Amino acid sequence: MPAQKPPARATNPVLPGFHPDPSICRVGDDYYLVCSSFEYFPGIPVFHSRDLVNWRQIGNVLDRPEQLRLPASMPSSGGIYAPTLRHHNGRFWLIVTNCSEGGGNLIVTATDPAGPWSDPIRAPGVPGIDPDLAWDEDGTCWCTVAGVSQIRIDPSTGQTYGTPHELWSGAPGAKAPEAPHLYRIGDHWYLLIAEGGTERGHGVSIARGRTPTGPFEPCPANPVLTHRGTDHPVQNTGHADLVQGPDGSWWMVLLGVRPRGGTPGWHVLGRETFLAPVTWEDGWPVVGEVALDLSTLPWPLSPAPAEERHDDFELNELGPAWISVRDRPAELCTTEERPGWLTLHARGGSLDEPDVVFAGRRQQHHSCRARTLVDATQGRGGLAVRLDERHHYVIEAAGTEVRVIARVGSLRTVVAERSVPAGPVTLAVTLTDPPPPHGPCTGPDTVCLGIEAADGTFTQLAALDGRYLSTEVAGGFTGRVIGLYAAAGAVHYDWFDYEPLDD
């Protein structure tokens, strides 16, 4: 009997976990979406969908060292900010900011969004971050950036012409006008921006004009989307992009977070990608509910793609969902040295170091379990829940010793230690709701770290408060990543498994 296809999924977020700053384009019946990747390599994940709901990662834009260099001196939450993806004259164009030393604004192109993408073209004349590309009727290309200002550009060379001119920066006094996107829709050019900062005050506003250079008239109903001051389960809504659905209706992709726990609420998965309906009234977009249930979409859903939750490391290279901190040298991270195993060779001495050798997957569910079988007889390494260098929990093996380490800000503590038999050991971490009673100071989740016997019996070594691995505590722009690392010598991993629990 042939294997049954998994049922279609119709829930928000459409890309759960650390997938911020979505930019989308439609080519025929196909949709392509990219997100920011910050300090992780490879950079800028690329997703494909036919229904705007079920997405499959088909690659990464910046997947070669010559395309993306993120120095160890770059802090976490630096790196790759806010790409814009567009399709023009048979090619995909992507412009993005590398916020690290020697970075700046870069343009890459491809005929196939799955890659390969070109080497970057630098655009030194483009100021600021969050660049956007839009072509007018005569083929002139305009680059608009946070602020909000605009300059004419030749995207094939990165050459700019003239000086940047101010456009429209949202509500008077609103902070951080950013994430501009410019569109020709009907008789008008529309300038969509985010404002209010990417925290609880985030929102989306829009203006329109007769030409791509303005002048722009603000929408009387601005902000057209914000959840500030509400008890909606999705907060920090902003950084949006517009697209038409399969039936010609309009939709918005945007980032948001799902805070949990008591006051002030902690989000741990990072900024996620959500979908919201858009209608038009008097020539202005009206954004509908950012609903968690999308089952009432007016078109049939595609089969949900199979989720890659288990990896036996049988392939010559890691799949596109695996990300590393700043770089991934082939000689330090390989599946070929010990066939059927992932081998990591240490460089930094712990996850506290910016050059640690690490390979992980985004945490995409509030309740989940991750496990790995590790052979640390020649080194020291283990399984980590990482937010950044200063905020992570690990369960680490070295020879016949296993220990749990918590790093929170300037504090680094060995929480628990246990002797184990010689040989490979299964390390596990489970993330679940905190135990009752719940109150205003209850954290978002509990992170349990331990070892697993051959019969599946789990021995917990530590249960830690998840709030310390949240953006509200650590700051920054990323979300949790669960993965494998080497802190000394060579560490071998036979498999990695990620299992969603009831969310």
Q: Which residues are catalytic?
A: 21, 178
* Residue appearing with tokens 């100071």: 441
Of 470, 468, 452, 469, the C-alpha closest to 460 is 452
Of 21, 69, 54, 57, the C-alpha closest to 328 is 69
Of 75, 40, 175, 172, the C-alpha closest to 481 is 40
- Cα separation values, 249 from 242, 245, 275, 276, 298, Å: 11, 5, 13, 11, 9
Which helix (H) or strand (E) covers residue 418, if one does?
strand 411-419
Signed CA dihedral, 435, 439, 441, 445: sign only:
positive
* Residue appearing with tokens 């205003």: 440
* Amino acid letter, 356: V
* Residue appearing with tokens 């928000």: 12
Do residues 398 and 404 lie in contact, with contact meaning Cβ atoms separated by under 8 Å?
A: no
* Residue appearing with tokens 């659905």: 245
Burial pattern 443-473, b for ≥16 Cβ within 10 A else e, equals bbbebbbbbbeeeeeeeebbbbbbbbbbbbb
Q: Work out whether strand 446-452 and strand 23-27 pair parallel, antiparallel, or are unpaired.
A: unpaired
Question: Measured over all CA atoms, what is the biggest interatomic distance in the chain, rounded to whole angstroms?
Answer: 73
Which 8-state DSSP code applies to residue 467?
A: G
Q: What is the 3-state secondary structure (H, E, C) of 371-417?
A: EEEEECCCEEEEEEEEEECCEEEEEEEECCEEEEEEEECCEEEEEEE
Of 325, 318, 315, the C-alpha closest to 68 is 325
Which helix (H) or strand (E) covers residue 474, if one does?
helix 471-474
Q: Work out whether strand 401-408 and strand 411-419 pair parallel, antiparallel, or are unpaired.
A: antiparallel
- Cα separation values, 202 from 149, 222, 223, 239, 383, Å: 20, 12, 10, 8, 34
* Residue appearing with tokens 């992780």: 40
- Cα separation values, 393 from 19, 347, 378, 483, Å: 22, 19, 22, 11
Query: How many CA atoms within 13 Å lie on the side-chain side of 307?
Result: 16
Strand partners, 405: 394, 414
Which residues have CB under 8 Å from 410's CB, separation 6+? 390
